[in-house]
Amino acid sequence: MSQVILTESQGRVGLIRIHRPEAMNALNDAVMDGLSAALDQFEANPDIACVVLTGIEKAFAAGADIAAMRNLDFAQAYSSDFISRNWERLLTFRKPVIAAVSGYALGGGCELAMMCDMVFAAENARFGQPEIKIGTLPGAGGTQRLPRAVGKALAMDLCMTGRFMDAQEALRAGLVSRVLPADKLLEEALAVAQAISNQSLPALMMLKESVNRAYESPLSEGLKFERRMLHASFSLQDQKEGMNAFVEKRTPNFTHK
Ligand code: DAK
């Protein structure tokens, strides 16, 4: 595993840290390849049910590495499928992922947070899509996921001005679900991840797939998909265990089957 990505397991939770402090965690090939490898490892491990993705105190990630990409020309960017090839892994990761954001989440860093299932922000978090200030535009979903998360007006405001949004504004806008003191961020994210990881893993995965359908299909198709997933969940041993435990007034013992 590359040193810019640090991983550890705590119970059924996998923790991934982006660690490139000299460049505000700017995202280069080493970071994205390392992140993909870490996700592969946690996806393949049946004892991991939830992942927390975090950075350093000053930055979740201040965007794609500007120094590394500034001299690219169109032909190189297009033919090498610049960035796309190692930026998609989070999107195919099937277990729940919490982004724990402290400091800057800018450009590709904000886009990376938005690829996670939920975002917790420290009080010092700053979100933005400042690509316009360096003569370009968001390229990893900022123009698509940001309007879905916060609405068109605020997305245009952030993308066109390049201004940063603080944690409270991000909470009001719906980009993040919790704001925490910086020194409690990771503790809380890990505690929530532990609680989630005690639920039935296949049911969590079906739930994640169903919520993501809300972004990919019209309401009627999403509702149909959700209904079929619900029917399928009745084939899980965990569904029987969960409902029996409720009726018998005891804590369920999920086996993730
Ligand atoms: N890239 C490279 N280095 C960066 C960086 C970045 N994005 N952000 C910060 N650094 C480096 C700085 O150059 C500096 O390095 P040294 O000078 O010490 O060597 C070090 O980190 C500390 O930064 P500062 O000295 O600037 O620290 P400050 O506290 O004064 O300011 C800041 C922090 C985060 C506000 C500032 O560094 C800043 O504005 N950074 C740039 C933010 C930005 O513009 N981000 C968007 C980048 S464009 C694509 C997918 C995605 C993308 C593109 C394509 N495809 C799928 C095709 C994404 C594009 C982007 O993200």
Q: What is the pLDDT of residues 76-124, one digit of tens each?
A: 888 888 877 788 899 999 999 999 999 999 999 999 999 999 999 999 9
Ligand 1 pocket residue status of 31, Cβ below 6 Å: no
Of 4, 18, 24, the one to substitute when testing ligand 1's pocket (max ligand atoms within 8 A of C-beta) is 24
Task: Identify the top-confidence range among 2-11, 44-53, 211-220.
Answer: 44-53
Q: Which of 55, 205, 225, 66 is nearest to 135 (CA)?
A: 66
For a pLDDT cut of 90, what percent of the chain falls above it? 92
| DSSP E strand boundaries for the chain | 5-10, 13-18, 50-54, 59-61, 97-101, 104-106, 118-122, 126-128, 165-166, 178-180
Any bridge partners for residue 127, and if so which? Answer: 105, 165
Per-residue confidence (pLDDT) for residue 38, from 0 to 100 = 98
Average of pLDDT values for 127-138?
97
Any bridge partners for residue 52, and if so which? Answer: 15, 98
Q: Which of 235, 238, 236, 211 is nearest to 225 (CA)?
A: 211
Residue 1's pLDDT band, with cuts at 50, 70 and 90, is very low
The tokens for 151 are 């609405």
Q: Is 83:64 a contact under the CB 8 Å cutoff?
A: yes
Query: SS3 of 92, please?
Result: helix
Per-residue confidence (pLDDT) for residue 83, from 0 to 100 = 72
Ligand 1 pocket residue status of 67, Cβ below 6 Å: yes
Quote the ligand 1 centre to 65 CA distance (angstroms).
6
Per-residue confidence (pLDDT) for residue 141, from 0 to 100 = 94
The catalytic site residues sit at 64, 108, 111, 131
Residue 30's pLDDT band, with cuts at 50, 70 and 90, is very high
Using CA positions, which residue lies closest to atom 1 of ligand 1? 65
Structural element, H or E, at residue 202: helix 201-216
